[in-house]
Chains A and B, each alone.
Chain A
Amino acid sequence: MSMASLEGLGGRVALQVPLRALSVAVALAAAILAVLVWSLMTGSYDLSRAEVIDTLWGNPPSDTAGTVVWEFRFPRTLTAFMVGAFLALSGATLQYVTRNPLADPSLVGVSQGAALVVVTVTILAPGFGFYWRPLLAFGGSLVVAAIILTIASSRRGGETLRFILTGIGVAALISSFTQTLLTYGDVDGALAALTWLAGSVHAAGWDEATWLTVTAMIAVPALLAAARPLAAIRFGEEVATSLGIRVVAARRGLVGLAVGLAATAVAAVGPMGFVGLVAPHLARRLAHSGVGLHLVLTALTGALMVGLADLVGRAAFAPVQVPAGLFTAIIGVPVFVALILRTQARSQL
Chain B
Amino acid sequence: MRLLTIAAAVVIAAFASPILAETRTITDDLGRQVEIPVDPQAIASLDDLRLTLPLIELGAPVVASHGRISRVDSSQYIRSADILTGASFENSNIAFIGIEPVDLEALAAAEPDLIFTLVTSNADADQLQAIAPTVVFDEDITDRFAIYDRLAEMTGTEPRLWVLKDRYAKQLAQLTRLVDTESISIGLIEGGSDGAIAIEHTFGSLGRVVRDAGFIQPDVIEEIAPGGRAALSAELLPLLDSDIMFDTYRGDRAEGPENAHARMEEVFPGYCEALTACTEGNYYRIPRDEAKAISYNALSAMTMMLLTILSAPAPVGE
Contacts and interface: CB of A to CB of B under 8 A. Distances in A.
Interface stretch (A163-171, A194-202, A234-242): A194-202
Interface string A121-135: 010001101110000
Interface string A144-168: 0000000000000000000000000
Interface residues of B, number: 35
A196 B98 CA distance: 16
Contact of B96 (A46, A126, A130, A319): A319
Contact of A319 (B29, B98, B130): B98
A67 B108 CA distance: 9
Given A127-B29, A127-B30, A321-B98, A45 B108 contact: yes
Interface stretch (B17-25, B118-126, B154-162, B204-212): B118-126
B120 A202 contact: no
Given A72-B127, A130-B119, A192-B122, A64 B108 contact: yes
Interface stretch (B99-107, B179-187, B238-246): B99-107
Contacts of A188: 118, 120
B106 A45 contact: yes
Contacts of A89: none
A286 B99 CA distance: 38
Contacts of B103: 44, 314, 318-321
B108 A68 contact: yes
A130 B111 CA distance: 25
Highest count of chain B CB atoms <10 Å: which of A131, A200, A203: A203
Given A44-B109, A319-B96, A203 B127 contact: yes
A205 interface: yes
A195 B120 CA distance: 11
A191 interface: yes
A4 B116 CA distance: 61
Given A187-B229, A200-B101, A320-B98, A64 B122 contact: no
Contact of B106 (A129, A191, A318): A318
Interface in A288-312: none
Contacts, number: 93
Contacts of A64: 108, 111, 131
Nearest to B125: A130
A45 B109 contact: yes
A191 B49 CA distance: 14
Interface in A179-221: 183-184, 186-189, 191-192, 195-196, 200, 202-203, 205
B258 interface: no
Interface in B47-80: 69
A71 interface: yes
B294 to A, nearest CB: 12
Contacts of B267: none
Contacts of B98: 318-321
Given A205-B124, A320-B99, A43 B140 contact: no
Interface string B115-147: 000111111111100110000001011000000
A143 B29 CA distance: 31
Contact of A67 (B99, B118, B131): B131
Given A44-B109, A189-B120, A196-B122, A127 B138 contact: yes
Interface in A45-71: 45-46, 64, 67-68, 71
A173 to B, nearest CB: 22
Contacts of B102: 319, 321
A320 B103 CA distance: 7
B7 interface: no
Given A126-B140, A187-B229, A43 B124 contact: no
Contact of A205 (B109, B127, B194, B229): B127
Given A126-B140, A187-B229, A191-B120, A203 B101 contact: yes
A200 B29 CA distance: 25
B105 A43 contact: yes
Contact of A202 (B96, B104, B138, B141): B104
B152 interface: no
A321 B66 CA distance: 12
Contacts of B125: 130
B81 interface: no
Nearest to B194: A183
Contact of B124 (A130, A192, A318): A130
A111 B131 CA distance: 32
A68 B121 CA distance: 20
A314 B103 CA distance: 8
Contact of B100 (A129, A131, A187, A195): A195
Given A191-B100, A195-B100, A319-B102, A203 B109 contact: no
A189 B29 CA distance: 16
A72 B119 CA distance: 21
B121 A192 contact: yes
Interface of B: 29-30, 69, 96-106, 108-109, 111, 118-127, 130-131, 138, 140-141, 194, 229, 231
The 5 closest A-B CB pairs, nearest first, are A319-B103, A319-B98, A319-B106, A44-B105, A45-B105
Interface of A: 43-46, 64, 67-68, 71-73, 122, 126-127, 129-131, 183-184, 186-189, 191-192, 195-196, 200, 202-203, 205, 314, 318-321
11 contacts: A64-B131, A126-B138, A186-B140, A187-B229, A188-B120, A192-B100, A196-B122, A203-B122, A203-B127, A319-B103, A319-B105
Given A72-B104, A126-B138, 10 more contacts: A45-B109, A64-B131, A127-B30, A188-B118, A202-B101, A203-B122, A203-B124, A318-B103, A319-B102, A319-B103
